[in-house]
Amino acid sequence: MADLKTQILILIASLLVALVIGLILRYLLVRRLKKTVLDNWLIQIIGFLIIIPPIIVGIFVAAAFIGIPATQMLYYLQLVLPDIFSKTNFGQLIWNLSLSILIFLVAIGVGRTFLKIITAGTMKDHLDVNVRVLLGRSVYILVMFVAFLFILAIWDIQFGIPAAVISVITVGLTFVFQDLLKNIVAGVYILVEGPFHIGDIITTDVYTGKVENVEIRATKLRIFSGEQVIVPNSMLFTGVVVNRTIYEESRSIIVITMPLAKYEKGQTTACILNTIKGITGVMLKPEPVLSLSSVAGAFGNTTGVVSGYTGEIITLTLQFWISDGDVKVISDAMIALREALPIADLTIREPAGL
């Protein structure tokens, strides 16, 4: 049997070689797993765990070089481990804590992986997107709950004790966080019922924008200025929401006001209709309509007559259809009409209720 100095050198060399092999295996495994659907969090944890087996093998190899048989090494471990991790020993506390942290980290990785798998991909059926989001979050919570049960088992804690504590805390928090709970309930309703869906363009009492995400507490909108607006779900649940993309086309309205002296019925009408029909994105069926008839209270908060004569001023209402969500068409129409009728005032109106 080698002397103590030689044994230490052999042990250190074996551990270094084992560590290098473990790092190489980790690099190869992580690189391979990144091409799969696994979440990066879980990949890194697996990459860490793959280092442990080569180190254990390195210890046994070192023992063999030193002259300690593998069976004897296992016997030593059997004698030492129970003493190190006895329940009355501090080592048991460290072991339980380490194992609990590992289970918690693995649960996060597994939950995020399931969430990624379930919510991955984009389908034309927007309702399916909402259901996927809700299902993915439900599975994530389920995975974390199962991990919580495993951790309780490690610490020999009966589930009834934390369940009672959670019940008491839940009752107290219900009164404290009533608004938060309203938003959560509204968020679940929006995901399940689907009054609007991820990817839709909606109009609330204040904002118009594209739905980027429906979270449990709030809905994220990207408005046309490029900013992100976070709207509490309870406001969307109880307020009026206009879904602009539930149909394949939508009607736009431009009010044209001009001096009566400059208005020539045939020529002006033809100029406006020809201009709007020449805009890319304006639908020719149904055809654009230019009217002079009175439309009282047709534009949401607007009251009175929208189209008609007022002294020396004439007001015309131009209605046309565009592909759903193509807001740029309206801007192009405004520019083209301004060039065709430089003397006219143009106003975009919201066709609420029409």
> Is the fold of 185-243 the same as that of 249-349?
no
Check residue 245 and give left, alpha or beta (phi > 0: left; psi -120 to 50: alpha): alpha
- Cα distance between residue 314 and residue 188, in whole Å: 50
- Given a cut of 80, whether residue 326 has pLDDT beyond it is no
Do 10 and 53 form a contact (C-beta atoms < 8 A)? no
For residue 124, what pLDDT is reported?
A: 46
CB burial class (10 A; 0-12, 13-18, 19+) of residue 36?
exposed
Q: List, in sequence order, the alpha helices (H) in 229-327.
A: 233-238, 265-277
Mean pLDDT of 173-186: 69
Q: Which two tokens stand for residue 299?
A: 């534009």
Q: Does domain 185-243 have CATH number 2.60.120.260?
A: no
For residue 271, what pLDDT is reported?
A: 92
Q: Comparing C-alpha atoms, which of 251, 252, 198 is closest to residue 222? A: 198
What's the 3-state SS for 161-223? HHHHHHHHHHHHHHHHCHHHHHHHHHHHHHHHHCCCCCCCEEECCCCEEEEEEECCCEEEEEE
- Given a cut of 80, whether residue 14 has pLDDT beyond it is yes
Type of residue numbered 12: I
For residue 273, what pLDDT is reported?
A: 92
pLDDT tens-digit map of 124-160: 445 456 667 777 778 888 888 888 888 888 877 766 6
pLDDT tens-digit map of 244-260: 777 777 788 899 998 88
Mean pLDDT of 96-110: 86
- Cα distance between residue 95 and residue 108, in whole Å: 20
Among 53-62, 67-76, 164-173, 181-190, the range scoring the smallest mean pLDDT is: 164-173
pLDDT tens-digit map of 258-308: 888 888 888 898 999 999 999 988 888 888 998 874 444 333 333 333 455
For residue 221, what pLDDT is reported?
A: 92
Do 352 and 242 form a contact (C-beta atoms < 8 A)? yes
CATH superfamily label, 249-349: ACT domain (3.30.70.260)
For residue 272, what pLDDT is reported?
A: 92
* Domain ranges (residues) in the chain: 4-153, 185-243, 249-349
pTM: 0.44
For residue 337, what pLDDT is reported?
A: 92
